[in-house]
Chains A and B, each alone.
Chain A
Amino acid sequence: MTLTATSTATRPSRRRPGTDAPRSPALPTRTAWRRRLAWLGAGLVVLVLLCAASVAIGSRTVDMPAIVEALGSLGEPVEGLDQAAVVKRIPRTVLALVVGAALGVAGAVMQGVTRNPLADPGILGINMGASLAVVVGMAWFGMFAAHHMIWMAILGAALTAVLVYAIASAGRSGASPLKLALAGAALTAVATSFITAVAMPRGDISANIRSWQIGGVGGAAWDAIGLVAPFLAVGMLLALASARSLNSLALGDDLAAGLGERVMLARGLAALSSVLLAGAATAVAGPIGFVGLVVPHACRLLAGPDHRWLLSYSAVAGAGLLLASDVLGRIIARPSEIDVGILTALIGAPFFIHIVRQRKVREL
């Protein structure tokens, strides 16, 4: 069939009138579905490439044959420095993947639960609350064991989440985006100065605290990953199971209830998932900022507002961003390294300003 140039030019987003296909709304939905799946596939390919780069690149230059040889002899006793370097990069790569995915999803869920474009485990103070709990555990109770840190971090994350929400909900207008961000900022300030106050007089543990606090995946070890894995897995499953509820909540509480959603329960479960993810990620890698903010926003541009897609995208993109930041940190500071938390802040801060300036801070 022929089509006049004007009709395509003026109505680019509409289907052509009179095409052979029946005028069913399923049509644009299906094509959008395929497009979203294609982007997700592309993201996974990039992620695989980043994994390869993460194993291959480091402060010690290891040539290709040696890398292949090292990977081929995994599980056998390590021979030589090259092989040792490569073997050490594998848990580091895995940690960056899981922590990045966890933070990306935690941010997306938080933005959905609060309908707040600024929600992020960092901005809402969750990461700092988790840090404070870990630092207090170290300084006062001598809790240096990895599994202690995880429980303290999750406890701190949960307490902060409840506290921020309670403070922001006080007053008539409820937990508005602005009040949530303010409450988070206030608690972050309190937690930060408290951490300093706790850590400062303790010369014996301050190095311990500082290295953990900057945030990083460099010190990754399999046993730490194994310890947080169950928390991350439960958090991730809970988040994915909440995706459809988040879609309903996005329409406003009244409409969500009208659609048969139990609003408080759905919101509580989703919030729990983000607390588990953010708390466990912080426990194992320290407070890493901005991943939970940047990733969901970038993903929303491609995935659209459907949380089933958005959460999957955020997992992939979060893993990718953290991995890329980690690899970049090894390249630009050779033969030393820059911690991944510093790089994500460098990338994230301008983006944060961009969001605040470009978009009205309004409900999602």
Chain B
Amino acid sequence: MTTHLNLTASTHELRAEGLAVGYGERHVLSGLDLEIEPGTVTSIVGANASGKSTLLRTLSRLLSPAGGQVLLDGRSVHSMPSKELARVLGLLPQSPVSPDGITVADLVGRGRHPHQRMFRAWSAADDAAVAHALDATATADLADRPVDELSGGQRQRVWIAMVLAQQTDLLLLDEPTTFLDVSHQIEVLDLLADLNRDRGTTIVMVLHDLNLAARYSDRLVALEGGRVYAAGPASAVLTEQCVQDVFGLRSRIIDDPVSGGPLVVPVGRHHVAAG
């Protein structure tokens, strides 16, 4: 069903070099280096206030770094024309606002913004992109429903459809599963995995749940104190030592019986079987 669109795998390279970002006196990121491999799914994990969202916001140039730079194919994103960047790199922030009474189709259509010029009419390419985004997220049935009336899970799929309509090779998502129950979390992550497989979209997201991050990512980036503590495949990054250092939490790492990857089992002060 996906033949009329250009589905070549992403070749765009996103990297951060020596990123330093701070709010006033407080340094959130200090000298952070990161390379995102094209066509992979990367999850950024870390404790609260470890700089996860700040990193994502700087990569998508919502924040300007005090030092260092973010390079997209060797060019600094902070000096690129904004629409040009928006045709390559899409962003789903944590709490987007849906205008009162907007329909799903209209909302998804707004993802076409970077492809349109002032006063140019809506094109067939726009139609195709919206149709495809609705199809990919299984929201075509909802096309003429008001977004306000949807459930949380449906709404998140619609927002993802909106950034899909933007047709970017790179997709950055800030905690796309927050506020969703577990089945909808899986649904959203499955959808992102589909996108990565079918279209080769490079995905970078901030996730809270370590085990879901481990299962759904090719690479994990663990942040600690504004620096990369460890980066690589989940099996290499998620060690008991890493969880201890990054989250200050004792844990056991076992094999995930479903995926075969690592599964973090936290150890608290209570409910620990003797021995």
Given known pairs A254-B93, A260-B83, A262-B82, the reply for A23 and B105 (CB within 8 Å) is no
Question: Is B74 an interface residue, CB under 8 A from the partner?
Answer: no
Question: Is A230 an interface residue, CB under 8 A from the partner?
Answer: no
Contacts of B94 in A (CB 8 A): 254
Residues A260 and B114 in contact, CB atoms below 8 Å apart: yes
Q: Tell me, in angstroms, the Cα distance from A261 to B93 when the chains sit together.
A: 14
Chain A CB within 10 A, most for which of B61, B62, B114, B143: B143
Given known pairs A14-B144, A260-B82, A260-B114, the reply for A254 and B91 (CB within 8 Å) is yes
CB distance from B246 to the nearest CB of A (A): 26
Q: How many A-B residue pairs have CB under 8 A?
A: 108
Q: Tell me, in angstroms, the Cα distance from A15 to B87 when the chains sit together.
A: 32
Contacts of A305 in B (CB 8 A): 99-102, 106
Closest to A249 in B: B97
Residues B145 and A14 in contact, CB atoms below 8 Å apart: yes
Question: Is B86 an interface residue, CB under 8 A from the partner?
Answer: yes
Contacts of B47 in A (CB 8 A): none
Closest to B57 in A: A254
Residue interface mask A17-44, B partner, CB < 8 A = 1? 0000001111111001000000000000
Closest to A31 in B: B144
Q: Tell me, in angstroms, the Cα distance from A29 to B143 when the chains sit together.
A: 9
Residues B100 and A300 in contact, CB atoms below 8 Å apart: yes
Contact residues of A between 106 and 128, Cβ < 8 Å to B: 115
Contacts of B93 in A (CB 8 A): 252, 254-255, 258
CB distance from A300 to the nearest CB of B (A): 7
Question: Is A251 an interface residue, CB under 8 A from the partner?
Answer: yes
Question: Is B85 an interface residue, CB under 8 A from the partner?
Answer: yes
Q: Tell me, in angstroms, the Cα distance from A15 to B61 when the chains sit together.
A: 40
Residues A254 and B96 in contact, CB atoms below 8 Å apart: yes
Q: SS class of chain A's interface: helix, strand, loop or mixed?
A: loop
Q: Tell me, in angstroms, the Cα distance from A115 to B60 when the chains sit together.
A: 23
Contacts of A74 in B (CB 8 A): none
Chain A CB within 10 A, most for which of B91, B110, B134, B140: B110
Q: Tell me, in angstroms, the Cα distance from A59 to B91 when the chains sit together.
A: 61
Question: Is A174 an interface residue, CB under 8 A from the partner?
Answer: no
Chain B CB within 10 A, most for which of A25, A300, A306: A25
Contacts of B60 in A (CB 8 A): 257-258
Given known pairs A260-B86, A363-B97, the reply for A251 and B110 (CB within 8 Å) is yes
Contacts of B106 in A (CB 8 A): 29, 304-306
Question: Is A345 an interface residue, CB under 8 A from the partner?
Answer: no
CB distance from A325 to the nearest CB of B (A): 27
Given known pairs A26-B127, A258-B60, the reply for A115 and B140 (CB within 8 Å) is no
Question: Is B29 an interface residue, CB under 8 A from the partner?
Answer: no
Contacts of B96 in A (CB 8 A): 251-252, 254-255
Size of A's binding interface in residues, CB under 8 A: 33
Residues A260 and B85 in contact, CB atoms below 8 Å apart: yes
CB distance from A173 to the nearest CB of B (A): 14
Residues B131 and A24 in contact, CB atoms below 8 Å apart: yes
Residues A244 and B100 in contact, CB atoms below 8 Å apart: no
Closest to B89 in A: A258
CB distance from B98 to the nearest CB of A (A): 7
Q: Tell me, in angstroms, the Cα distance from A255 to B114 when the chains sit together.
A: 12
Question: Is B108 an interface residue, CB under 8 A from the partner?
Answer: yes
Given known pairs A25-B131, A250-B97, A259-B114, the reply for A15 and B144 (CB within 8 Å) is yes
Contacts of B145 in A (CB 8 A): 13-14
Residues A251 and B116 in contact, CB atoms below 8 Å apart: no
17 contacts between A and B (CB under 8 A): A244-B113, A251-B98, A252-B96, A254-B62, A254-B93, A255-B97, A258-B91, A258-B92, A259-B166, A260-B85, A260-B86, A260-B87, A260-B114, A261-B82, A300-B100, A304-B101, A304-B106
Told that A29-B106, A254-B96 touch, could you supply 19 new A-B pairs with CB distance under 8 A?
A: A13-B144, A25-B127, A25-B131, A28-B103, A28-B143, A32-B103, A241-B118, A244-B118, A251-B99, A254-B62, A255-B91, A255-B96, A257-B62, A258-B86, A260-B114, A261-B82, A300-B101, A305-B99, A305-B106
